[in-house]
Amino acid sequence: MRRDLWDAGFTALPKWTCPQCESGSLLTMPDFPRWEETEYSKEEQDHQDSEPDWTVERFVALMKCEVATCGEIVVVGGDRQAWMQDDYERNTQSWESILVCGYVRPAPNIIPISHNLPSECSKQLKKGFELYWVDKAAAANRLRIFVERLMDHFKVPTKGKGKKVKVHTLDLSERIDEFDTMKPGHKDALDALRHVGDYGSHQGEADAQALLDCFELLEDALAELIDQKKAMLAAKAQKLIQNKGKDNW
């Protein structure tokens, strides 16, 4: 996962991968991004203490997929902010303008969505990508729901004894424990997702870096759980050994 694609602000919009065809890059269309300063901001420029970061500007941009047969259009909007750039080598500071995205729709995939992933799961993941720009806590909560749906997909029981004596409805933490007995090795990643989701739900905020960590953990876990990456690579290696290095299948 390239973290620089999911920064808080950009001097120029990045070439995200198209969420529709999942192969082409999104290119900013001519005459975009466009921005306007608010009238109250213009008025404040006359103030004697006014600094560039007092400026309030909103921007909008249309991006188009470079693949001619796809041509997906993505709309991006947010704030254009002044930001103090430090040049440590020259020991200077200068103001730069950055685009802080508050809305990207349809949202680019932060991690690839496998076609083997059940639609109930991919729906939550896609919502998570969209909410990432709008509300980090809501995105974290979607990841928590995603883990619930993933447990459903693997037919992890919803009732059992869990950590108690009596049979009861299992909470997500107990379902993850059950899952660990079925498919070991992913408990920590799933628990981390659950914690970030819980924190997002209760505190109403989630840290962008923690959220990106979650996506990264998920990418790794899904490659194993959904696409059996290691098993497929092992099978390919075996085939090459059998064919003495020739890639004829």
Task: Considering the complex, state which of residue 5 and residue 234 has its C-beta at the smaller distance from Zn ion.
Answer: 5
Shortest distance (Å) from residue 223 CB to Zn ion: 23
Shortest distance (Å) from residue 126 CB to Zn ion: 15
Task: Considering the complex, state which of residue 63 and residue 217 has its C-beta at the smaller distance from Zn ion.
Answer: 63
Task: Considering the complex, state which of residue 24 and residue 78 has its C-beta at the smaller distance from Zn ion.
Answer: 24
Contact 45, 135 (CB under 8 A): no
Taking the C-alpha atoms of residue 198 and residue 143, their distance in angstroms, rounded to an integer, is: 10
Taking the C-alpha atoms of residue 15 and residue 185, their distance in angstroms, rounded to an integer, is: 34
Task: Considering the complex, state which of residue 102 and residue 106 has its C-beta at the smaller distance from Zn ion.
Answer: 106
Q: Which residues bind Zn ion (CB under 5 A)?
A: 18, 20-21, 24, 65, 67, 70, 72
Shortest distance (Å) from residue 142 CB to Zn ion: 24
Shortest distance (Å) from residue 66 CB to Zn ion: 8
Taking the C-alpha atoms of residue 108 and residue 116, their distance in angstroms, rounded to an integer, is: 19
Task: Considering the complex, state which of residue 18 and residue 137 has its C-beta at the smaller distance from Zn ion.
Answer: 18
Taking the C-alpha atoms of residue 149 and residue 190, their distance in angstroms, rounded to an integer, is: 12
Shortest distance (Å) from residue 65 CB to Zn ion: 3
Taking the C-alpha atoms of residue 216 and residue 210, their distance in angstroms, rounded to an integer, is: 10
Shortest distance (Å) from residue 76 CB to Zn ion: 15
Shortest distance (Å) from residue 70 CB to Zn ion: 3
